[in-house]
Amino acid sequence: MKLNMDALKQAAALREKGYRLPEYDVEALRRRTAEKPQWVHFGPGNIFRAHIARAHQELLNQGGFDTGIIAYAAKGSETIARAYAPFDNLSIAVSLKAGGGMDKYLVASVAEAHTLGDDGFARAKEIFTSASLMMASFTITEKGYARPSYEKDLPLTPENRGTLLGQIAYLLKLRLEAGGRPMALVSMDNCSHNGDKLKAALLELASGDAALTEYLETKIAFPWTMIDKITPRPDRRVWEMLEKDGFEDMAPVVTPRGTHVAPFVNAEEKEYLVIEDDFPAGRPALEKAGVYFADRETVEKVEKMKVTVCLNPLHTALAVFGCVLGYDAIWKETEDSELAKLIRVIGYDEGLKVAPDPGILSPKTFLDEVVNDRLPNSFLPDTPQRIATDTSHKIAVRFGETIRAYVEKFGTAESLTGIPLALAGWLRYLQGVDDEGNPFTLSDDPRLETLKKLSPEEIAADEDIFGVNLKKAGLYEKVLALYGEMSQGKGAVRATLKKYLG
């Protein structure tokens, strides 16, 4: 059996194998979407399919919306050609439960899938000039919002817009010329104040065009969001399970750009999506599918709760120590007595004292789920090496915010123990040598070559990396002293953790 429209004709057999299927007429949905596009999404990767597209399918199953999502990948991407087109834009989303078992969804909510090449760009023009368009959403990673310096100085034409957001700016200009109807541009990327980052990038691209700038400022909404669902690369065990169910051609492929793509996506069961409710042209009622809508202040509190206390700093601490201590899976680290104690100290003993409380979610409950269920999930194939990617760009938020909060609340952060251990662990990680004295490959990081040329003292003094001045916070000497202890030779990292965590 191939994953295509014909597979939907075998609904009874698929349901017997545990698949949750679309409960709407997929062909009719696609016809309606072609005639009345309402939602377009850019960046149709794993988090989109595992979370956003699957949530929209739940809404469609309830009869709560009547069109699908139009998915777009950047020009030159192979995602559409490899993971969408051969499978009639269908996908399988597998939720891996912490206690074992899984939920399997055959997702058909993506009505169209294109790249921003020639044919796809022509369709994008139709979509963006359509009166029915409500929103465009984005999961393009934080790097997608960086602007090439040359692009903002060129005339706003398709020929001069090579980046995805450059093309979006041009499409918005066409929408303005077609009547200037409002809409929402919704970044769902995992970065702070993501709506503002998207807006700033587009305003920079529109600089010199007063009419387009005014349109972006007055008619386009840029809601903030917080998204949370651990979504690793396609896992071989899931691929083999799907083939046992009778599906063919499930094997993941690696594109020349290093992207891992497959017709399926595997992810943890737990998920959160909180969106600022600012949609001037209307929106899908995704609250019926578990999405939270709130005001901007609440979204910010949820984001800070997750990113600075309850998940991301724990992930980063496990990532750097996992590389140094020779681990190949995050879940295995949670069975390590020192590392398990470390994340509890960072989260419960230190983070919760200054964690923002958004009201709609409890920081303590959220942290309990992370520590007791999500990180220990042995069915979730995530690695410390993947999580350690771009750590130098993460530290300021994941640890710096809590340090700053301690200084504001207590006058100093010198009472902290877990966070300084994590920071010292990252400095030790940068040696590229594990605790047994064996070299390992450092994960990708845009600052890596610069960091290799700096001393630990110089790095620790860099306020841009840490988001705070460690000297003024009372932690500079403590972090360097811990780093020194971790650098004494074979077994020194383990010995240091034991010494300070008891």
Instruction: Delineate the domains of the chain, giving CATH numbers in brackets.
Output: 5-294 (3.40.50.720), 298-501 (1.10.1040.10)
Taking the model in full, what pTM does it have?
0.88
What is the rounded distance in angstroms from the CA atom of residue 209 to the CA atom of residue 320?
45
pLDDT band at 98 (very low <50, low <70, confident <90, very high): confident
The answer to whether 366 and 305 have CB atoms below 8 angstroms apart is yes
| 12-24 mean pLDDT | 97
Q: What is the Rg, in whole angstroms, of the alpha carbon atoms belonging to the chain?
A: 23
Specify the higher pLDDT residue, 308 or 143.
308
pLDDT band at 192 (very low <50, low <70, confident <90, very high): confident
Q: Which residues are within 8 A (CB) of 175 and not within 5 positions of it... i.e. 6 or more apart? A: 128, 129, 133, 181, 183
Read off φ and ψ for residue 115, nearest 5 degrees. -105, 165
Residue 177 CA, chain-centre distance (Å), reads 33
The answer to whether 384 and 355 have CB atoms below 8 angstroms apart is no
Q: What is the mean pLDDT of the chain?
A: 94
pLDDT band at 145 (very low <50, low <70, confident <90, very high): confident
Q: Which residues are within 8 A (CB) of 419 and not within 5 positions of it... i.e. 6 or more apart? A: 313, 346, 350, 399, 402, 403, 413, 475
**Cβ count near 10 (within 10 Å):** 15
| 227-277 tens-digit pLDDT | 999 888 888 889 999 999 999 999 998 887 777 889 999 999 999 999 999
Say yes or no to pLDDT of 147 above 90.
no
| Cross-strand bridge partners of residue 254 | 260
Query: Around 160, how many Cα atoms within 13 Å sit in the side-chain half-sphere?
Result: 13
Determine the angle formed by the axes of helices 312-324 and 418-429, rounding to 10 degrees.
50
The answer to whether 399 and 423 have CB atoms below 8 angstroms apart is yes
DSSP letter for 467, please. S
| 299-346 tens-digit pLDDT | 999 999 999 999 999 999 999 999 999 999 999 999 999 999 999 999
| 193-218 tens-digit pLDDT | 999 999 999 999 898 899 999 999 99
**DSSP string of 248-314?**
-S---EE-TT--EE-SEEEEES--EEEEE---TT----GGGGT-EEE-HHHHHHHHHHIIIIISHHH
Residue with tokens 């990252």: 426
The SS3 of residue 73 is strand
Say yes or no to pLDDT of 158 above 60.
no
The answer to whether 501 and 445 have CB atoms below 8 angstroms apart is no
